[in-house]
């Protein structure tokens, strides 16, 4: 099995600063790909940049943060507000299927998929979620993610990092995802960047496994790290792939 390291930046298009700081990291060679938000204030400009620059972009499904684009229908906002109010009410709502919101989820997810096709002029090949809500029960059980796409899995944790029940639930959900979509072998967040041995271990896994690392370059500490010399030093023996397509091979 050949490995791969993907460093994926979330929130592409959320606002101009987020897009520009992420773009700087892409040009620096420390970010492989981006996850794009739809119906946000910088969505259309960010899509044009990605198209013109050949940046690998996936859909960053947004079910928890208000849309900020001017071109947004009242119907879409109404359905989105219903979902947002539900998912942000309690932490456990993510894992509970709400039959009253079936139509709202179908409409909001479908609208974002269609908008991605419109502004990126291509099909959705990869999906993840803002606050990881692409894994909420209504999305998964409703079969709302395009079949055969690359879908972000749960965070990977060691035996001492989460409870047995937490890890068991994540494992069951990831096994379910793997039967329907393409997923990475491991998924981590870039922070915390200290101790450095944590990142060295994560990057080292990419020698044998498909590893995705999530980052948010709008955060000052992450941006400085991605633009600095230490990232290059820690990945000296690991190639940062220029496309998430590297995760396709199993």
| CATH number assigned to the domain covering 4-247 | 3.20.20.370
pLDDT of residue 250: 44
Helices (H), the chain: 16-28, 43-53, 74-87, 102-120, 137-141, 164-180, 196-205, 220-227, 229-234
Assigned token pair, 144: 């709302």
Q: Domain residues of the chain, as ranges?
A: 4-247
Q: With bands split at pLDDT 50, 70 and 90, how would you rate the model's confidence at 159?
A: low
pLDDT tens digits for range 36-85: 999 999 999 999 999 999 999 999 999 999 999 998 999 999 999 999 99
Task: Give per-residue burial for 170-192: e unless 16+ CB within 10 Å, then b.
Answer: beebbeebeeebbbbbbbbebee
Phi and psi at 159, nearest 5°, equal: -60, -30
Q: Give the separation between CA 75 and CA 220, rounded to whole angstroms.
A: 36
pLDDT tens, residue by residue, 192-225: 999 999 999 999 999 999 999 999 999 999 999 9
């Amino acid at each position: 099995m050949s490995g791969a390291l993907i460093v994926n930046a979330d929130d592409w298009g959320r606002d101009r600063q987020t897009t520009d700081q992420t773009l700087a990291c892409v040009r620096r060679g420390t970010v492989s790909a981006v996850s794009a938000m739809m119906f946000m204030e910088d969505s259309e400009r960010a899509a044009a940049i990605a198209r013109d620059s050949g940046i690998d972009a996936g859909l960053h499904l947004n079910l928890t943060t208000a849309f900020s684009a001017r071109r947004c229908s009242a119907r879409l906002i109404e359905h989105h507000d219903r979902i947002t109010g539900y998912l942000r009410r309690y932490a456990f709502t993510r894992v509970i299927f709400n039959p009253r919101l079936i139509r709202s989820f179908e409409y909001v997810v479908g609208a974002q998929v269609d908008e991605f096709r419109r502004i990126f002029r291509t099909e959705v090949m990869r999906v993840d979620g803002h606050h990881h809500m692409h894994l909420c029960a209504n999305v998964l059980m409703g079969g709302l993610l395009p079949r055969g796409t690359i879908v972000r899995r749960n965070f990977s944790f060691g035996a001492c990092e989460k409870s047995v029940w937490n890890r068991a639930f994540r494992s069951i959900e990831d096994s379910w995802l793997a039967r329907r979509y393409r997923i990475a072998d491991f998924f981590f967040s870039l922070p915390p960047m200290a101790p450095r041995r944590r990142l060295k271990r994560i990057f080292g896994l990419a020698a044998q496994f498909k590893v995705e690392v999530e980052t948010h370059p709008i955060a000052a500490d992450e941006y400085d790290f991605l633009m600095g010399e230490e990232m290059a030093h820690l990945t000296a023996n690991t190639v940062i792939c220029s496309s998430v397509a590297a995760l396709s091979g199993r």
